[in-house]
Every structure is written in structure tokens, then in C-alpha cells.
């Protein structure tokens, strides 16, 4: 831990009011040092929304190094901390949070958590995915976001699903014309029938930006994930498919075993 970080952490630990705690967490997050991660994670469990928001923003800026601790937090029974951790995972876009975000976007009781998950799903770090796993992951995200856009009762969550679908459209390969067609059809329906004017306006914006072909700048960073990480992600996606679809062709274990072997070999050889 750097000498500059120690007083910032002590300020968080010594804060004796909501205002001081929020300010201390904001200052710690602004340092953008990985040594702050444990304290920022702890702040997610405090009964202080201002401090939690600051901690989430700090964790998102720190990115991938914060993910293992965030995933550990998901296993705890503190729902408040878990919900803030999900917001951070959604903002980071690390593939290790993919299966969690899929489940949360379609089933969590908190509209703010569903909204964060739906938005985050479309902005995964898709360039990290091995080619063999990319199709499986993007198909699951497509199905989840279409479900949310069609079924969620809260307009803010449907709005987030539109944002996610727009981002996904820019990420999928042009050869997946059927996927693009489904997104286009969903947008057409929502533009004319969604009950919320805000959602309809966001759909129109998405349609215009997609039609204009906004160019996404290339990303240069390489995935730091191991073959074990990818196999865990794959197993999570397969488990999700197995729960949702009972048709063997949609989730043949032999297909996933082959993918797992291929991913492991490619990762080890890279």
C-alpha cells in the first residue's frame, strides 16, 4: 500500500457522520489505486448510499482488479452490498460477471439493479472473449435483453434494455443478420407501442445511431482471464441454458465440452 493511500483509508475508517463518510470514500475512490479496493468493497455494505455510489464509481475506474472481490461479495447474504456489487460489475463489463448479470437483469426484484444489469450486458468486453465462446455469450445476452425489453413493467429497465441492445448491435458480427433483424423488429415495435415516451424516444435515438453506423473505436487491451476463468463462464452459461431450455439441441453437453477443451488449448498456447 502506498503512503499516500494510508491516510485516505484511515479517513474512511474514522468518519463519524454520513457526510464525512461519503466525502472520505469519494477521496479514496479518486486516488484510483488498487490498494483501495478492500476499503471500497467494504463501503458497499455501509448503510450510506452516497458512500456506496462513490465506491461503485471508484471500483469501475479500477476495473478488472476489483472483479474477484466483487464476485466474492455476491455470495454474501447482505442484499444491499450485493446490489451495489452488481452495479459495479455491470459498469466494469468483465466477462466473469456475465452469468450474474444475465440472471439479475431478468429476475431481480430491484428495478435499479435490473436497470444496471441490462445496460451492462450490452457493454461486455466482447473483445476479450475467445471466438468459440463469443457466439454463445452474445446469444444469451440477446435473449435476455429482448425478454427485458418485452416483459419488464418498469420503463427505466426497458430503457436500459434499449441501451444494451444498441450496444450489442454494434458488437455482433455482421454475419449474424438474424440477430440484427430481431433487434430491429423489437425497436420498431417499441417505437410505436411502448407506453413510455422516454423509452420511445430512446428507441428512435438508437435507430438513428445504428442507421448512421457510428464507428466504435478499436480496443487494444488483451484479456487477462485464464482458461479456468473461461471454463467457469462457459459452465455458467450452459447451466443457464439447461434451466431455460430442455431441448437437447439447444444445450448438448458434448458441444460445451468441445468448447471448453478448445478454449483451454487456445488460452494455454497464447
Domains and CATH numbers, the chain: 1-92 (1.25.10)
In 3D space, the residue among 157, 160, 87, 170 whose CA is nearest the CA of residue 126 turns out to be 170
C-alpha to C-alpha distance for 67 and 59, rounded to whole angstroms? 9
Q: What is the pLDDT of residue 252?
A: 41
- Residue of 8, 51, 12, 16 whose CA lies nearest to 33: 8
> Residues 6 or more apart from 24 whose CB is under 8 A from it?
8, 11, 12, 14, 15, 51
Residue 262's pLDDT is what?
Answer: 54
- Nearest one of 165, 167, 179 to 136, comparing CA atoms: 179
Q: Is the dihedral of CA 74, 79, 81, 87 positive or negative?
A: positive
Cell of residue 71, nine digits: 464476485
Q: What grid cell was written down for 245? A: 431450455
End-to-end, the C-alpha distance of the chain in Å comes to 32
Task: Answer yes or no: are the C-beta atoms of 48 and 16 closer than 8 Å.
Answer: no
Q: What is the pLDDT of residue 246?
A: 41
Half-sphere exposure (Cβ direction) of 29: Cα atoms closer than 13 Å: 25
The tens-digit pLDDT sequence of the chain (270 residues) is 567 899 999 999 999 999 999 999 999 999 999 999 999 999 999 989 999 999 999 999 999 999 999 998 887 778 888 899 999 999 999 999 999 999 999 999 999 999 999 999 988 999 999 988 999 999 999 999 999 999 999 999 999 999 999 999 989 887 889 999 999 999 999 999 999 999 999 999 999 999 887 656 656 688 899 999 999 999 999 888 777 654 334 344 434 444 544 554 554 455
Amino acid at each position: 500500500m502506498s503512503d499516500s493511500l494510508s491516510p485516505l483509508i484511515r479517513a474512511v475508517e474514522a468518519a463519524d457522520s454520513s457526510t464525512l463518510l461519503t466525502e472520505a470514500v469519494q477521496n479514496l475512490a479518486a486516488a484510483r489505486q488498487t490498494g483501495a479496493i478492500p476499503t471500497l468493497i467494504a463501503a458497499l455494505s455501509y448503510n450510506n448510499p452516497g458512500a456506496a455510489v462513490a465506491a461503485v464509481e471508484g471500483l469501475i475506474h479500477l476495473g478488472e482488479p476489483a472483479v474477484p472481490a466483487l464476485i466474492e461479495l455476491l455470495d454474501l447474504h447482505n442484499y444491499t452490498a450485493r446490489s451495489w456489487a452488481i452495479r459495479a460489475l455491470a459498469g466494469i463489463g468483465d466477462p466473469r460477471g456475465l452469468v450474474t448479470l444475465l440472471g439479475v437483469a431478468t429476475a431481480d426484484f430491484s428495478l435499479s439493479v435490473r436497470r444496471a444489469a441490462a445496460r451492462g450486458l450490452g457493454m461486455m468486453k466482447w473483445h476479450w472473449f475467445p471466438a468459440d465462446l463469443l457466439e454463445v455469450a452474445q446469444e444469451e445476452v440477446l435473449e435476455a435483453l429482448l425478454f427485458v425489453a418485452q416483459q419488464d413493467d418498469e420503463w427505466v429497465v426497458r430503457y436500459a434494455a434499449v441501451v444494451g441492445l444498441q450496444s450489442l448491435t454494434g458488437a455482433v458480427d455482421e454475419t449474424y443478420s438474424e440477430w440484427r433483424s430481431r433487434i430491429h423488429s423489437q425497436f420498431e415495435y417499441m417505437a410505436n407501442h411502448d407506453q413510455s415516451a422516454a423509452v420511445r424516444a430512446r428507441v428512435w435515438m438508437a435507430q438513428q445511431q445504428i442507421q448512421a453506423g457510428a464507428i466504435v473505436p478499436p480496443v487494444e487491451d488483451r484479456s487477462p482471464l485464464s482458461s479456468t476463468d473461461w471454463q467457469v463462464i462457459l459452465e455458467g452459461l450452459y447451466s443457464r441454458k439447461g434451466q431455460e431450455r430442455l431441448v437437447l439441441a439447444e444445450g448438448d453437453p458434448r458441444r460445451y465440452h468441445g468448447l471448453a477443451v478448445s478454449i483451454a488449448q487456445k488460452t494455454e498456447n497464447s
